[in-house]
Structure 1
């Protein structure tokens, strides 16, 4: 009976993680369009919520990667381990949200799983080849986004640089709505699948399903949780993403969103989880560098990069503590 309730605890925590991911990462899809005033914040949030929901239903490839590549076998872990992993990731997400630091929910989740598995079963249960592939995609994606953001921005300047800034801003305001739409849809297509993968892994390890295929109710509930979280907004991080890295104009916002959407769609197609926070940050830095290297606030960029590096070990530590607390509670019960 306890195992049954622990499985439902995992489902609840995974949906809570998805909800928090929604308002934590709302900035990814709308920060540029809000900061350039291409769309009002309220309309941007609601548009993103709907598109996040739709995007979450298009694929389950990333979910299968998360569910299948973190541990050697689902039989080696249980709901207690995954509950601790989610608690560690949620705690880190809330801390970084409170301080307005655009850290990665994906890194937090991976760190949470690693920490919980190591303290409970041991490192031998971890699938280091799979974790390495996931980690590589998380690390390389913002670098790729920065490079291609720089290239796309330079192409746009080459094509439209002869026009006045006022004319460019007016022309690209509507174009930015299109790129923000693509960005919101791509965000849902990648991020919501991470919670899907965790729930599916739990159901498989508990014997509730026979294969690593994501049940329909899991898809719908994760999509809904992310959409509701997005609707709640994430204004603290929107300020950092939209204003503090680089002062965006509409042509810059269009380039950053378009580049981010292409990068994330490519990762989803390859069944690779990426950090949408890092991809968007990298895109903004690349776009800003195309204008002028000194136009980018590299102090903020440094703080964000530091958050990238510390997220996995600190969320792993938090999940390890959470596992110890869960074990203590179970022993008392």
Structure 2
């Protein structure tokens, strides 16, 4: 098959994968803000669209691992033909699974989808010996670790807000008084996430003590700036002033989520696309690749369009169908999800933002009693999580068989 046709196919599939990341992964990260009415669906689409492109281009990784998470040995890249077939199979397989989940309005991990599809490619190319079973075990463990950790954290955070503010006589006055704490911890977690999790933060190579000190100092400053702005813009006679305080904070955390997701998740689509691009261009690849800025921009635009065109389905599932969200609950969800992802990244565990977001929503749901949680929808979500890796792997194997004789 002519190289130009292969390259066009790679770009189309890379764009389709980016679109799916927007429709499913980014949508579920914005869901708690939409469900809590901090922002509308349309505002979520605009925020996520713009900030994902900015995150992908300016903070996204300019060097991407050709095999995600080290689960498949790089030996399978030795044969350029097999590597090319595998990259296209993996992109299409992961995309099809995520599209199916989005159609069913259920959140799945795009990272685990691409991991599963790369496993399928690895097995077809070189057999089971190329699979790093220990790493795969970590992925399986993350299905439990990240949602449970986020669930406990959001439960405790919401109970803390109830005890400190919501159950007291003048909750609005107390919300304003304690706002530097909540604005501060939101900024603290966000800043640490950027320093520890994003490719931009890693290039600075700031030590952990230095990162903690920097984040704490800036969080302290932003905490009091936040209080000043809240007093200025929320009238004291606002009947819903307490929730309004947390609504303003949640808009900020939503912006962070969109920016970070563009920086981190663009690699799920652009990693295999970069592999195809360099195989066609140079004829071979190494374990890691330099990624041109236009590929990052291409992926960012795909993510933005995915949120705009199909993001509402998954947003509604997490934001409305699991439990009823208020702004105070939504803040607890965002805080717990961001903290879970940050801590896990620092520990080197392959957790999913999707799993952390759902765990956070569950935590605030359980804080209102088991009856406040839709157990049926949770069962469906967990089933799709478990099916993600094997479904993507089997689809990738099937596509490999079809594409290998053609290419």
SS in 2 for 1:103: coil
- Going from structure 1 to structure 2, the CA distance change for 1:36 and 1:7 (only over 3 Å counts) comes to same
- Going from structure 1 to structure 2, the CA distance change for 1:19 and 1:273 (only over 3 Å counts) comes to farther
Question: Aligned to 2:273, which of 183, 186, 199?
Answer: 199
SS in 1 for 2:263: helix
- Tell me if the contact between 2:120 and 2:396 (Cα under 8 Å) persists in the aligned partners: yes
Mean CA deviation greater in 281-290 or 69-78: 69-78
1:289 corresponds to: 366
Provide the rounded CA distance (Å) in 2 between the counterparts of 1:248 and 1:67: 34
Mean CA deviation greater in 291-300 or 131-140: 131-140
Provide the rounded CA distance (Å) in 2 between the counterparts of 1:124 and 1:115: 12
2:202 corresponds to: none
CA distances 1:174-193 after superposition (whole Å, capped 9, x unpaired): 12212222222232232222
Number of aligned residue pairs:
330
CA distances 1:99-148 after superposition (whole Å, capped 9, x unpaired): 11222222221111112221333112333344444454455222222222
CA distances 1:139-177 after superposition (whole Å, capped 9, x unpaired): 522222222222222222222122289443232221221
- Tell me if the contact between 1:62 and 1:272 (Cα under 8 Å) persists in the aligned partners: no
- Going from structure 1 to structure 2, the CA distance change for 1:135 and 1:82 (only over 3 Å counts) comes to farther
- Tell me if the contact between 1:62 and 1:193 (Cα under 8 Å) persists in the aligned partners: no
- Going from structure 1 to structure 2, the CA distance change for 1:135 and 1:63 (only over 3 Å counts) comes to farther
Q: CA RMSD in A?
A: 2.8
SS in 1 for 2:288: coil
Provide the rounded CA distance (Å) in 2 between the counterparts of 1:329 and 1:209: 21
TM-score (ref. length: structure 2): 0.72
Alignment of 1:5-16 (within 5 A): 5-16=5-16
Q: How big is the shift at 1:283?
A: 0.9
Question: Aligned to 2:322, which of 225, 235, 245?
Answer: 245
- Tell me if the contact between 1:179 and 1:257 (Cα under 8 Å) persists in the aligned partners: yes
- Going from structure 1 to structure 2, the CA distance change for 1:262 and 1:8 (only over 3 Å counts) comes to farther
Provide the rounded CA distance (Å) in 1 between the counterparts of 2:156 and 2:69: 35
- Tell me if the contact between 1:195 and 1:222 (Cα under 8 Å) persists in the aligned partners: yes
- Going from structure 1 to structure 2, the CA distance change for 1:226 and 1:269 (only over 3 Å counts) comes to farther
CA distances 1:211-241 after superposition (whole Å, capped 9, x unpaired): 6143233333222322232233411112111
Provide the rounded CA distance (Å) in 2 between the counterparts of 1:98 and 1:283: 23
- Tell me if the contact between 1:63 and 1:194 (Cα under 8 Å) persists in the aligned partners: no
Question: Aligned to 2:263, which of 189, 195, 198?
Answer: 189
1:274 and 2:351 correspond = yes
Mean CA deviation greater in 247-256 or 26-35: 26-35
Alignment of 1:18-33 (within 5 A): 18-33=18-33
Provide the rounded CA distance (Å) in 1 between the counterparts of 2:365 and 2:63: 30
- Tell me if the contact between 2:62 and 2:292 (Cα under 8 Å) persists in the aligned partners: no
Provide the rounded CA distance (Å) in 1 between the counterparts of 2:385 and 2:14: 22
2:392 corresponds to: 315
Q: Structure 1 unaligned runs (5+)?
A: none
1:82 corresponds to: 87
